[in-house]
Structure 1
Amino acid sequence: MSQQEVQRYDGTDFPWSKEVERHFKDSFHLSQFRPLQLRAINLTMAGRDLFLVMPTGRGKSLCYQLPAACSHGFTLVVTPLVSLMEDQIMYLKSTDVPAVMLNAFSTKVTT
């Protein structure tokens, strides 16, 4: 993908843009994207593969949480840190975004 094509994903003229903006403000109570967040979210919503590396505290979580909130079905996020999973679940539930986690400490559930 060319640099020009990649930069196109910095825009807000996609079919999902209004839904992303609504959840960004109403569910996550944010007003401005950090660098690379909107591009990563748009690439994800477009179904493109994405490998995103950002320093701690730069907003990586929103890059998968917001597309998940705007999508039908479910989103699977794999992370090696149980404490990060717990923090993410608590935050998502506080914003009324349905979320669950599964890890080595989870109990078996039968139906």
Structure 2
Amino acid sequence: MANSHRGEIAASIGGEVRTLCLTLGALAELEERLGAGDLAGLAERFGAGKVSARDLTAIIGAGLRGGGNNVTDDELAQMSVEGGLRGAAEIAARLLRATFGEVG
């Protein structure tokens, strides 16, 4: 069960309800993978509202691993997400809000 006090969310991915969390390690992974440089770069990138499918995979994948799920981004890309692309975007948005809070 997801603990919101620790920045965790629950989401249905690959037919299972999974816990996702952007831990410090997961955030470091995102910085490197997306070439953001630092946390401010990540927040700026996601705050702009322009997110690619690659970004969604990176955010959700890092969140899955931060939540204790042993899932690669390639495996995630083959999984179904409840609600399709819109559902994936909502999962990423919820995860970012749980980590950074509401922006602006």
| Higher-RCO chain (CA-CA 8 Å, sequence separation at least 6) | 2
Q: Between Structure 1 and Structure 2, whose CA radius of gyration is higher?
A: 1
Of Structure 1 and Structure 2, the greater strand share is in: 2
Give the TM-score, by structure 2 length.
0.29
